[in-house]
Amino acid sequence: MDTHIPVTADGTAGYFTYARERAAQLRRAAQARLCVLDARMRTLAEEPEEGAATAEYAVVLVAATGFAALLVTLLKSSTVKTLLTNIVKQALTIA
């Protein structure tokens, strides 16, 4: 049976040294992968909030534009013009 035994610098068999080095390598690799995963999760968590805020602003702008158009239409009607004119005339005659 041909088994590879790692050897330390002083020439002795280094099972524990090899195991320690291998564990350190695995730890570094796992930490690097976890950092990438953390960055991905943070990116995914941030994007929907920004998009939701943009969508909310768009809905508010559309609603405000619709309300403004409704007010302009109402104020241009002859009934509202007459009503406002009568209010102004009454205010001027009292003063």
Q: What are the extents of the domains in the chain?
A: 15-94
From first to last of its 95 residues, the chain has per-residue pLDDT tens of 455 666 666 666 567 777 778 888 999 999 999 999 888 888 877 655 555 677 788 899 999 999 999 999 888 888 888 888 898 898 888 75
**Maximum alpha-carbon separation in the chain:** 118
What does the pLDDT read at residue 64? 94
Angstrom distance (rounded) from CA 95 to CA 76: 27
- CA dihedral 25→28→34→39, nearest 10 degrees, is -140
| Token pair for 66 | 């619709």
pTM above 0.75, yes or no: no
What does the pLDDT read at residue 46? 67
| Token pair for 6 | 């790692």
What does the pLDDT read at residue 19? 77
Do the Cβ atoms of 30 and 36 come closer than 8 Å? Answer: no
